[in-house]
Amino acid sequence: MAALRVQIRPGAYYDSVVLMQLQRALASLPGVLDAGVVMGTQANKAVLQPSGLLTPEIEVASADDLVIAVRGEDEGAALAALDQVDHLIANRRSNSVEQDFLPRSVESALQMLPQAGWVLVSVAGRYAAGVARQALNSGRHVFLYSDNVSLDEEVALKQTASEKNLLVMGPDCGTAIVNGVGLGFANQVRRGPIGLVAASGTGLQQVSARIHQLGSGITQAFGTGGRDLSEAVGAVTAHQALDLLARDPETQVIVLVSKPPAPRVAEGLLTAARATGKPVVVDFIGYLGRSVDNLHFAVTFDQAAELAVGLALSRPSHANALLLGSERLGPGQKYLRGLFSGGTLAYEALLLLQDYVPAVFSNAPLDKRYRLADAMVSQGHTVVDLGADEFTVGRLHPMMDNDLRIRRLRQEAVDPETATILIDVVLGHGAHADPAGELAPVISAIRAAAGQSGRYLPVVAVVVGTDEDPQGMAAQIEQLTNAGAQVETSNEAAARLVGRFLRALCPDQQTTSPNPVDISVLRQPLAAINVGLESFTASLQAQGAEAVQVDWRPPAGGNERLMAVLERLKRNRP
Amino acid sequence: MAALRVQIRPGAYYDSVVLMQLQRALASLPGVLDAGVVMGTQANKAVLQPSGLLTPEIEVASADDLVIAVRGEDEGAALAALDQVDHLIANRRSNSVEQDFLPRSVESALQMLPQAGWVLVSVAGRYAAGVARQALNSGRHVFLYSDNVSLDEEVALKQTASEKNLLVMGPDCGTAIVNGVGLGFANQVRRGPIGLVAASGTGLQQVSARIHQLGSGITQAFGTGGRDLSEAVGAVTAHQALDLLARDPETQVIVLVSKPPAPRVAEGLLTAARATGKPVVVDFIGYLGRSVDNLHFAVTFDQAAELAVGLALSRPSHANALLLGSERLGPGQKYLRGLFSGGTLAYEALLLLQDYVPAVFSNAPLDKRYRLADAMVSQGHTVVDLGADEFTVGRLHPMMDNDLRIRRLRQEAVDPETATILIDVVLGHGAHADPAGELAPVISAIRAAAGQSGRYLPVVAVVVGTDEDPQGMAAQIEQLTNAGAQVETSNEAAARLVGRFLRALCPDQQTTSPNPVDISVLRQPLAAINVGLESFTASLQAQGAEAVQVDWRPPAGGNERLMAVLERLKRNRP
């Protein structure tokens, strides 16, 4: 008859690998039906219960107690298995770490491998902060895999790290890829143009794996730990990592992954992301932000990967913005004058310009505070819809009749405050047969006249059309280009071009990190000290990285009660 | 010395083309420096002002008065030009409409072209509703280009149209493409798999032109007029058009473009869009909605076009969902059981499943109402993160140790309420060396056992990894597939597959339009009657469509005051 027998070892510490191996070894002994080897936490008791391994004795065990339960075919088999426990623990196979001598501390490991820039920590949570602090004090970056580390400890560690210009990835950081070497759990991903910062381990893995599957690759992938973007921690690590990727010339596109962060933290990170000047894909999983300039929002990992790969393939050239030559403007030239025939094109332009300038006046404004007092007279930045109902009583639409727009072009061109003019040229059936034929000579003339008054007047035209339109799109573009206009074929591209130009007139202060991490961390071959799960050392070595395993033991031999006594004694010292 | 001379013609009606041609003819007469010919509205006076063509006489003119202003080199030239006005009006060239006889009414035009399914109306706003009503009464669809039509008239027209299963695009509808023929303003766009519904004329043009530029094309493009999505109108036309595209087998992807609509209207449209079952790209310009199942949100025209083209290229195959075989489930099988090792994979799955089922319980739920009472026991739909801190005290992460998951797989499989199981299998450095090697036999066994109990048990596995991972992604997938699991390589794809499966267990009621428009409107070669701008007839004919121009004249010969009297007399009739 099957029999369940249990052993409780109070206040004993073993690492997780030992417990797993012991459980497996017990379960494979002859006459054993099932075995459970866990620390006596509530969650672990709940795990034992459905397998019928929970006894009243285990119910009262504490979280510091080691619980061993064996169900045998009979009592003899169960008891025989329990007798093997010490033997099995002593004989456990090392996880194939090739290392003759195992140092007992981070310090001695660093003497063996002084070039190690990183310390990986995966010991039980209650010891992890102490080990991490030793690493920081030795001037090493920390990859802190351990979970169950307190928030206070995280805040303190990250403050220390930041002051020392060091990174602490974690706690509860499952994954990172530094210089092509995966730390913790990491997929083997092609090197490429995309850098990642993620507060989510499997999120980082899914995004990086999808990037690889889509044919692209990554420069670096930094984990931050799941709480980094909380209000309490303030995204210290995310900011440091973002700053590193911003400075890394290899990184062309940045992806930021996290569950929705605290609002104030999100704001700070998005500001920093925008200041990188690189395209940043933001996946605050499920959180919708409006894409702004170089920030692109994704709501799923797939979308984030696809967007990043697309952006890396087609990095928008900012060269065309330079063509507008803001340095050639006269001193009083400050404002955009947008003269649209398409109402919704004007609307979209207004919307996009919000990303670049504080206020744009219009006869159809997004915010009624910015309604033009007189639609015929521009104020400040102005975008006017010349096809609005008010203009078309007894008058052809400006897509058919260019008269109104030509008058307005001349009017804006003589205004010394006009810095640039934006127009749309809508082709197609029903529209004017040759709009560029009428507009190009005017653009040419007003630019020349402005030049004679000592003003440089860039004109941007968005041509909406196809190569099959009756006007001939290529010929329309050519006429406008010859007249000196910068031509775009997308309203968004035109609006953003003008937006970047306007922003260049009032440059933001660039923010740089107060405690920048030395960029050489992205250049040196990865070498690391590993404290905790031996499989991580094996994994580093398999990837060709130098690594030293520490044969770490908890203080007081893992006797929790003795350790608590030691801790109290320490605290009571003056 | 330059002289400005003015003529006011009270209560006279001329169409916009006549006014433009007169202005251009006057301006080109010898000795004339500038000319303005407009109806005396406030906006038009404002237009004359910057050109120095506004006089006190014009200031007091009314909106029904025709205003003619000429600035000549001297008084003689200005007066001579004004003397030419009647002659110039009489001699205006017809806009190259090839038509021997011009009927005076919609009715007689329809006798000439009975196959005309459409009437285009572009007469001045105050007459437009009347013409549109005649067209509806003749059983024809209406393209109503005219603006300055009242909201009440729009509501009444659309109600009539809807009752007659007819479409009214507009008022203020600038563009449409029906069966390859552009109405009003329309780009020449390749035919292709994408159908458009737009409350924005130039928005529709920009999106359709970009679709063409990206190499794809459109089936049909319906305009609705800018006010269709207001609360008052209730998106009557947008719903009709959406319903048509839903039923059109040629349309594979639908794009919906509008400025942000009234919230209630948006909700109704999105429900209808979702019910089409086709991928719908929604561009409520600048409005962010979360992509849900077949709804994809874009915030700019460019994004809308890119998304639509991408979706048309890679229409997600629903075939894999069928593989899950919901028809083979036992009667009590109702719930999903998701057993994740990746916390953020679980989080994303929870987020995506919101689109398909009302509530999913979890140990890390999105909404605390759905927290599992006991993480070890599933309730209803459940997604559990087996890597949560509570499970990893003294226990290896489930990405390294499959024991916990295997126990839970067995537990879920014997629950008669389990309809399907979803798991993640995360590969890469640091993870278990062969997770499929341990999980596949269990999947195989639990499926077989369920089969013996008369239950069909589909299992979906998302494999997160790359072809360079140490485990060998292809071999891992093969093991899982051979065990009968449906394998995906994207967490989103896996979650949506399971979501569709769960929704298929409780199908929605399909909503159909109460007044469907006959689908033959998408099949018949376009033929139309045009009332208003002659250039529209010319444009239709240039596109190879049959069209008849109506030589429409306003009631009472355009004498506004006389017309007002007639109107009053009509009203006073019993």
The stretch B456-474 carries a mean pLDDT of 94
> How close A344 comes to chain B (CA, Å)?
6
pLDDT tens, residue by residue, A394-440 = 788 999 999 999 999 999 999 999 999 999 999 999 899 999 999 99
Question: What is the distance between the alpha carbons of residues A370 and A356, in angstroms, rounded to a whole number?
Answer: 16
> How close B481 comes to chain A (CA, Å)?
19
pLDDT at residue B224 is higher than 70: yes
Q: What percent of chain B has pLDDT over 90?
A: 64
pLDDT at residue A509 is higher than 50: no
Distance of CA A406 to the CA centre of its chain: 47
* pLDDT at site A560: 62
B430–A20 CB contact, under 8 Å: no
> How close B349 comes to chain A (CA, Å)?
10
Contact call for residues A336 and A502 (beta carbons, < 8 A): yes
A410-414, B80-84, B306-310, B514-518: which has the minimum mean pLDDT? Answer: B514-518
Compare CB distances from B466 to A185, A213, A375 and report the shortest one's residue. A213
Q: What share of chain A is helix, strand, coil (3-state, %, to 5)?
A: 40, 20, 40
Question: What is the distance between the alpha carbons of residues A275 and A295, in angstroms, rounded to a whole number?
Answer: 10
* pLDDT at site B226: 92
B376–A49 CB contact, under 8 Å: yes
Specify the DSSP element, H or E, that contains A321: helix A319-323
Q: Is B522 left (phi over 0), alpha (psi -120 to 50) or beta?
A: alpha
Question: What is the distance between the alpha carbons of residues A192 and A195, in angstroms, rounded to a whole number?
Answer: 8
How do B32-39 and B66-72 pair as beta strands?
antiparallel
In chain B, residues with a C-beta closer than 8 Å to the C-beta of A39 are 393-395
Contact call for residues A105 and A128 (beta carbons, < 8 A): no
Alpha helix (H) residue ranges in B195-300: 201-213, 236-247, 263-275
* The CATH number of domain B102-147+524-574 is 3.40.50.720: yes
pLDDT tens, residue by residue, B240-298 = 999 999 999 899 999 999 998 988 999 999 999 988 989 999 999 877 777 777 888 88
pLDDT at residue B322 is higher than 60: no
A56-60, A311-315, A532-536, B74-78: which has the minimum mean pLDDT? Answer: A311-315
* pLDDT at site B253: 95
What's the Cα-to-Cα distance from A59 to each of A39, A45, A46, B393, B404, rounded to whole Å? Answer: 12, 7, 10, 16, 19
* pLDDT at site B96: 56
Quote the mean pLDDT of chain B: 89
* pLDDT at site B286: 77
Class of domain A323-505 (CATH, top level): alpha beta
B114 pLDDT band, cuts 50/70/90, is very high
A323 pLDDT band, cuts 50/70/90, is low
Question: What is the distance between the alpha carbons of residues A258 and A251, in angstroms, rounded to a whole number?
Answer: 20
Question: Is there a shared CATH topology between the B3-90 domain and the B102-147+524-574 domain?
Answer: no
Residue of chain A minimizing CA distance to B27: A403
* pLDDT at site A166: 96
Considering the segment(s) A103-151+524-574 as one domain, its CATH architecture is: 3-Layer(aba) Sandwich (3.40)
A318 pLDDT band, cuts 50/70/90, is very low
Question: What is the distance between the alpha carbons of residues A552 and A143, in angstroms, rounded to a whole number?
Answer: 16
A347-361, A457-471, A497-511, B466-480: which has the minimum mean pLDDT? Answer: A497-511
Residue count of chain A, please give it. Answer: 574
* pLDDT at site A94: 54
Quote the mean pLDDT of chain A: 89
Question: What is the distance between the alpha carbons of residues B394 and B397, in angstroms, rounded to a whole number?
Answer: 10
Question: What is the distance between the alpha carbons of residues A356 and A364, in angstroms, rounded to a whole number?
Answer: 19
Compare CB distances from B344 to A44, A203, A396 and report the shortest one's residue. A203
pLDDT at residue A328 is higher than 60: yes
Closest CA to A3 of A79, A84, A88, A61: A79
* The CATH number of domain B319-505 is 3.40.605.10: no
In chain A, residues with a C-beta closer than 8 Å to the C-beta of B63 are 393
Residue count of chain B, please give it. Answer: 574
B400–A188 CB contact, under 8 Å: no
pLDDT at residue A137 is higher than 90: yes
ω into residue B171 within 30 of 0, thus cis? yes
A394–B38 CB contact, under 8 Å: yes
Q: What is the secondary structure of B402-433 as a DSSP string? A: -HHHHHHHHHHHT-TTEEEEEEEEE-SBTS-S
The fold for domain B3-90 equals Alpha-Beta Plaits (3.30.70)
What's the Cα-to-Cα distance from B419 to each of B414, B449, B453, rounded to whole Å? Answer: 11, 14, 13
- Is residue B523 classed exposed, middle or buried when 0-12, 13-18 and 19+ CB atoms within 10 A define those classes? exposed
A466–B213 CB contact, under 8 Å: yes
Q: What are phi and psi of A379, to 5 degrees?
A: -130, 130
The fold for domain B173-315 equals Rossmann fold (3.40.50)
pLDDT at residue A566 is higher than 80: no
* pLDDT at site B509: 46
Site from A65, A185, A468 to mutate, B interface, most B CB atoms within 10 angstroms: A185
pLDDT at residue B567 is higher than 70: no
* pLDDT at site B338: 98
pLDDT at residue A319 is higher than 50: no
Compare CB distances from A390 to B43, B213, B469 and report the shortest one's residue. B43
Identify the DSSP state of A42.
Answer: H
Residue of chain A minimizing CA distance to B126: A393
Q: What is the secondary structure of B136-200 as a DSSP string? A: HHTT-EEEE------HHHHHHHHHHHHHTT--EE-SS--EEEETTEEEESB----EEEEEEEES-
pLDDT at residue B17 is higher than 90: no
Question: What is the distance between the alpha carbons of residues A346 and B203, in angstroms, rounded to a whole number?
Answer: 10
Torsion of CA A359, A364, A368, A370, to 10 degrees: 30
Place of tokens 């739920």: B365
Compare CB distances from A39 to B285, B394, B464 and report the shortest one's residue. B394
The stretch B410-434 carries a mean pLDDT of 95
Question: What is the distance between the alpha carbons of residues B245 and B196, in angstroms, rounded to a whole number?
Answer: 8
What ipTM describes this predicted complex? 0.76
Domain positions in chain B: 3-90, 102-147+524-574, 173-315, 319-505
Contact call for residues B283 and B298 (beta carbons, < 8 A): yes
> How close B217 comes to chain A (CA, Å)?
11
* pLDDT at site B558: 61
Contact call for residues A182 and A197 (beta carbons, < 8 A): no
Q: What percent of chain A has pLDDT over 70?
A: 93
Contact call for residues B3 and B78 (beta carbons, < 8 A): yes
A496 pLDDT band, cuts 50/70/90, is confident
pLDDT at residue B574 is higher than 90: no
Question: What is the distance between the alpha carbons of residues A144 and A171, in angstroms, rounded to a whole number?
Answer: 5
pLDDT tens, residue by residue, A169-206 = 999 999 999 999 999 999 999 999 999 999 988 999 99
Class of domain A173-313 (CATH, top level): alpha beta
Question: What is the distance between the alpha carbons of residues B48 and B41, in angstroms, rounded to a whole number?
Answer: 11
pLDDT at residue B487 is higher than 80: yes
What's the Cα-to-Cα distance from A252 to each of A176, A187, A512, rounded to whole Å? Answer: 18, 21, 18
And the tokens for A312? Answer: 């890396």
* pLDDT at site B393: 80
Within a 10 A sphere around the Cβ of A33, how many other Cβ atoms? 15
pLDDT tens, residue by residue, B515-543 = 788 888 888 899 999 998 888 898 899 89
Residue of chain B minimizing CA distance to A211: B466
Buried residues in B378-414 as b, exposed as e (16+ CB within 10 A): bbbbbbbbbbbbbbbbbbbbbbbbbbbbbbbbebbbe
Torsion of CA B263, B266, B270, B276, to 10 degrees: 150
pLDDT at residue B563 is higher than 70: no
Contact call for residues B470 and B434 (beta carbons, < 8 A): no
Torsion of CA B299, B301, B307, B308, to 10 degrees: 130
pLDDT at residue A214 is higher than 90: no
And the tokens for A226? Answer: 């799941």
And the tokens for A24? Answer: 């497996």
Question: What is the distance between the alpha carbons of residues A81 and A4, in angstroms, rounded to a whole number?
Answer: 11
- Identify which has the larger pLDDT, A201 or A564: A201
The stretch A253-268 carries a mean pLDDT of 93
B394–A41 CB contact, under 8 Å: yes
* pLDDT at site A512: 57
A82-96, A110-124, B245-259, B431-445: which has the minimum mean pLDDT? Answer: A82-96
Contact call for residues A26 and A84 (beta carbons, < 8 A): yes
